[in-house]
Structure 1
């Protein structure tokens, strides 16, 4: 299912329930939007959930499983969990079973009082969790090995779904944006939007690059340009100085799609790279925005090319004699 549809579904859950919250223990407020009548989770169980987390300050989105395209696996802890209390994060999921959906407002004043930890700076009084349960894994009489085996099989299936969907995501992005990209033997696709006039970089040269990176669904995950980062409402590190990225091509690690793609551009060129996951992060997620098997789109500008000394020789292995 597409991220946009799922995210709208989460927003709809929040909208229909915002006036119907009940009071629970520890200041927790909740509304069960859908009760599927299934068994509710108990200690030792696991839930696979789709979830968004929002702050009550400017209604800002803190995290979303929909960005990764993967559910979150939540373990239901016992009552004796250190730092736990009635109305905490773990308490929320005990209201839920397979097929259920709900909205919870976690009281930060209670959390601070019960745990002795300061309130987070990103919210005022509440953090809101909008949750839909995909699957309930019941511990019951299962051994830990059997239960974890079920979870492993389930998650591998989710990953296979993302892998199978990748080619379609690239095709759709190209079609939706009416692009006519060139394609290299590795699978990298690129479109030059403004041709430069300088030299092309070679391995070992230092390149200076402005960029904005996003998923094929439009979610921006990083940018070297402050205006673009603000437009995308990215979390802003007050210590970050927004400036072009400078690195030695082939000597300092970047994703393979960049190493290959930048060598195709002349100084001053602006281009769009469409990079398959095999040339990016593969089957690994990267941060909270980039899921496994994610094709990436980069709008890049090759600001400068500085002649280098070539690729540095690898350091000799322990006991190995360097070549003369």
Structure 2
């Protein structure tokens, strides 16, 4: 979060974050000599946001270079299409204030913010992508246009204070994720047990963490264990029978088996654990609860959040 690639944000869809601001008096954009257009709102005594108006050139109340601004932010292109919204994630983002990459840059915009301010900035898209993002401008951004940023500054801190806050946020996020996973795995376990009964699967066993597996054809080779290089053919499907993908039908790999090092976190946890129950030459069914697969990550229609996965696998090779 505090790296130099501070503005390289994913282009994802979402809802606008900036709350409706009070439109009393002078609710208009102001433009600095460097070309940066802005509207900055501060909260008044009545708890309403008001446009601060034009900021004096010698105003030094905003964030300083070397400090870190914790904020929520979204931005849109000239066609009013939303490109990014930080509220799609659970925590605000932290951006170090650095030397401007060009005049009228996003770095310049940050130096106009104090903790609690909301703002709207218009920044030249050509310069932003070339000098700040360091990327070619995508086709949905018009040359010569502006990107409009909607920002709510939560905190302005020293780097040390921001790192401490970041650590706290990460700990909170881990606790929330763990609590969700513990609850979700119970829900998934009931569904898997019902599926096993419905499908009349035989000789099903369960690992301590919750992966169900049924060996349909026992192999005679060595037992797979952490650190082994393994080669696996698989078919992935959901419990409703919908097939998602198959290694044998994958044009990207030419139908070759999938190879990886077991127990190194190169695959989902359910695979590391499930494959380690098998011997070389085995065929098996793995039923993996969502916390041991892709969790609550929504990967589109192909992989909705909290998906329980079935893998029909064949462990072809175990290289010790």
Shorter-chain TM range is 0.5 to 0.7
SS in 2 for 1:13: coil
Distance 1:95 1:170 in 2: 41
Aligned length: 245
Give how far 1:163 is off: 2.1
Q: TM-score of the superposition, structure 1-length normalised?
A: 0.54
Aligned position for 2:56 = none
Residue by residue over 1:10-57, the C-alpha shift from the partner in whole angstroms, topping out at 9 and shown as x without a partner, is 625177699x65142455443335447994212332211222344446
> Is 2:127 the partner of 1:106?
no
The correspondence of residues 162-311 of structure 1 with structure 2, limited to 5 A, is 162-170=173-181, 180=190, 187-188=209-210, 199=217, 203=224, 204-210=230-236, 246-248=257-259, 250-251=261-262, 253-261=266-274, 273-275=289-291, 297-302=306-311, 304-309=312-317, 311=318
Aligned position for 1:123 = 141
Give how far 1:250 is off: 4.8
Change (3 A) 1:61 1:257: farther
Give how far 1:59 is off: 1.7
Give how far 1:111 is off: 4.6
Distance 2:79 2:309 in 1: 33
Residue by residue over 1:161-191, the C-alpha shift from the partner in whole angstroms, topping out at 9 and shown as x without a partner, is 112222332356569x88735696654477x
Q: List runs of 5+ in structure 1 lacking aligned partners.
A: 1-6, 138-146, 213-223, 226-239, 290-295, 314-324
Aligned position for 1:320 = none
Change (3 A) 1:31 1:97: same
Change (3 A) 1:209 1:21: farther
Q: Is the 8 A contact 1:65 1:72 kept in 2?
A: yes
Rg larger for: 2
Distance 1:169 1:272 in 2: 16
180-189 vs 40-49, which deviates more? 180-189
Q: Is the 8 A contact 1:106 1:126 kept in 2?
A: yes
Residue by residue over 1:95-154, the C-alpha shift from the partner in whole angstroms, topping out at 9 and shown as x without a partner, is 2111222233322145579899864434223333332222111xxxxxxxxx44323222
Aligned position for 1:45 = 67
Distance 2:316 2:78 in 1: 50
> Is 2:95 the partner of 1:95?
no
Distance 2:210 2:90 in 1: 23
SS in 1 for 2:190: coil
Distance 2:309 2:256 in 1: 11
Change (3 A) 1:156 1:57: same
The Cα RMSD (Å) is 5.0
> Is 2:22 the partner of 1:13?
no
Distance 1:298 1:44 in 2: 43
Q: Is the 8 A contact 1:198 1:268 kept in 2?
A: yes
Aligned position for 2:10 = none
Q: TM-score of the superposition, structure 2-length normalised?
A: 0.55
Change (3 A) 1:11 1:71: same
Distance 1:111 1:74 in 2: 16
